[in-house]
């Protein structure tokens, strides 16, 4: 699960992070595949397996949420920087009169 967390942390854009999200949490993702293995585990071991899997899923979700917020903030700052208005420039003169 450590390499999965590294994938999340190495995502450099929101698009890449979305692909990682689908790979991990999607319907046919890694987490879903692990949950599917539960049917083959005997009863007493199933509880421990499920608890461990849920903890791993929560850790990955937390890492994803943190990285998402970071990348979202970076993207917003980039947009604001590109769209910055120089308030020291003179504006265009408006016409007076009727």
pLDDT digits (tens, 9 = 90+) for 22-37: 999 999 999 999 999 9
Establish if 91 belongs to a structural domain: no
pLDDT of residue 90: 72
Establish if 52 belongs to a structural domain: yes
> Quick one: three-class SS letters along 7-68?
HHHHCCCHHHHHHHHHHHHCCCCHHHHHHHHHHHCCHHHHHHHHHHHHHHHHHHHHHHHHHH
Torsion-angle region of residue 3: left (phi > 0), alpha (psi -120 to 50) or beta? alpha
Total domains in the chain come to 1
> How much is the pTM?
0.77
Establish if 65 belongs to a structural domain: yes
Establish if 23 belongs to a structural domain: yes
51 vs 12, 54, 55, 56, 88, CA distance in Å?
31, 5, 6, 9, 60
Residue ranges for the chain with pLDDT beneath 50: none
Q: Look up the domain containing 65 and give its range.
A: 2-81
């Amino acid at each position: 699960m450590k390499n999965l967390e590294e994938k999340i942390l190495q995502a450099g854009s929101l698009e890449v992070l979305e692909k990682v999200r689908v790979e991990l949490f999607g319907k046919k993702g890694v987490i879903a595949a692990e949950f599917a293995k539960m049917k083959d585990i005997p009863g007493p071991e199933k509880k421990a397996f499920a608890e461990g899997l849920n903890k791993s899923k929560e850790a990955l979700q937390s890492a994803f949420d943190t990285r998402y917020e970071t990348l979202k903030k970076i993207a917003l700052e980039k947009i604001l920087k590109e769209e910055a208005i120089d308030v020291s420039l003179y504006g265009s003169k408006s016409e007076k009169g009727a």
